Structure 1
Amino acid sequence: MKKTILSLLALAAITTANAQEIYTAQFTDSALVRKAQMWVASGEWKNGFTKAEPDNSVNLTDFYIQYHREPETWKALFAWLEKTDLLAIPAGKHLIPGTDLIVSVEDSQNEDLKKRKTESHRYNCDFMFVVKGTEGFRFLDHNTSTQNTKYQYDVVRYDYNPAKAKTVESTPERFFIMFPEDWHIAKVKTSKPDQNLRVIVVKMPYRYRDSRERTGDSQECTGKCCMKKGQK
């Protein structure tokens, strides 16, 4: 009996050690995943946008689903990005006409990893487009990260294993979209000599198919306070 228990514990340890890191949502519908990949490659989503392509870290299936649940909002985003001089526009908050989307134009700097906070969101996704400089990111491994604060104001924080975090850098040729399962740390110091950057950040609504609310804690925000006007 003791030998059996030890064998099971050893097997569990090996399984855990060999577990593949997970950095984003996993979709099991292979046809949907392939459809999303083809859709992104076709450029149908661009609405005239020519300034950048999705980074390799962007979950294309999530992108496909969210775009098609609210296409006019995404079209307005890409049209605004294309026609706006993103280097000349003043830093601060800007409203995209005809929408309730608020653009945050940030002149900022990367910092040491220990100074930066982990985050993810449930009812919004962060569209991030660096237009000057390089922004450093860490993507957190789901298998070795745990939520460490109560969910509020549409923000979740995590404890994580730095050794399992994936390092990614954002430059003006690529944009990022941080969906709810993209647990991340932004503005992390890179190896570049200049840590200054300008980044465009837009909170895009994240639509759940069944208008579900995440609960489980009586004190937990349901997301209603964080939703944009009219979001279901």
Structure 2
Amino acid sequence: MIIDKLENRHRYQHLHPRIAAALAFLADTDLSALPKGRHSIDGDNLFAIVNDYDTQPAGTEPFETHKRYADVQFVVSGEEAFGYLPLAGQATLAPYHEAHDFVEYDYQANKDDACFIPLKAGMFAIFMPEDMHMPGTGEQPVRVRKVVCKVLL
């Protein structure tokens, strides 16, 4: 997992060419003007999903991981916290969902080991397949616009 401000994106160009392209897209696009939904950058290799939502209390949603894609999550406006925990053999809630590339994990079974990290407007987080994460949380509801770039590894 990596957390930083978009202005420091140059530090992560070497991770993967599509991660570099995702960070360039986030920096060069008027994200406040994009409509909600999926936006193709490079077909299924790299695409962005624009979401507007209110944060929820931790545990409302499960932890998740992905097998084929990395997430580059960028907060355009608002602020949220995300739960984080390294993947280390935790029991899944259901089998891997191949069509949507995710596995879910029980919050209650992992809450004592998880940490919650704030992600403010202008910041991004990169989640690799070994990073359990629970985005969109907060103690009080806050309206958030976030763009998630899905990067095929």
Task: Confirm or deny a common fold (TM above 0.5).
Answer: yes
Instruction: Indicate yes or no: 2:112 matched with 1:163.
Output: yes
Cα contact 2:71–2:151 (8 A) shared by 1: yes
CA distance in 2, matches of 1:115, 1:146: 18
Instruction: Indicate yes or no: 2:78 matched with 1:133.
Output: yes
CA distance in 2, matches of 1:142, 1:85: 34
Please give the residue correspondences for 1:34-45 in structure 2 after superposition, counting only pairs within 5 Å: none
Cα contact 2:72–2:125 (8 A) shared by 1: yes
**1:141 deviation in Å?**
5.1
Q: Which residue of 1 aligns with 2:146?
A: 199
SS at match of 2:59: helix
Quick one: structure 1 residues 146 and 79, their matched pair in 2 at CA, closer, same or farther if it must change by over 3 Å? same
Please give the residue correspondences for 1:86-101 in structure 2 after superposition, counting only pairs within 5 Å: 86-96=31-41, 99-100=42-43, 101=46
Larger Rg: 1
CA distance in 2, matches of 1:150, 1:64: 33
- Which deviates more, 79-88 or 197-206? 79-88
CA distance in 1, matches of 2:8, 2:20: 15
Cα contact 2:87–2:131 (8 A) shared by 1: no
Please, what TM-score do these two structures have when normalized by structure 1?
A: 0.54
Please give the residue correspondences for 1:102-113 in structure 2 after superposition, counting only pairs within 5 Å: 102-113=47-58
- Between structures 1 and 2, the one with greater strand share: 2
**1:172 deviation in Å?**
1.9
- Between structures 1 and 2, the one with greater helix share: 1
Say what the alpha-carbon RMSD is for the aligned residues. 2.6
**1:144 deviation in Å?**
8.2
Alignment gaps of 5+ in structure 2: none
Cα contact 2:65–2:102 (8 A) shared by 1: yes
Letter in 1 for 2:116: T
Q: Which residue of 1 aligns with 2:127?
A: 178
Letter in 2 for 1:106: N
Match of 2:25 among 68, 80, 91: 80
Identity, % of aligned positions: 29
Match of 1:150 among 95, 104, 112: 95
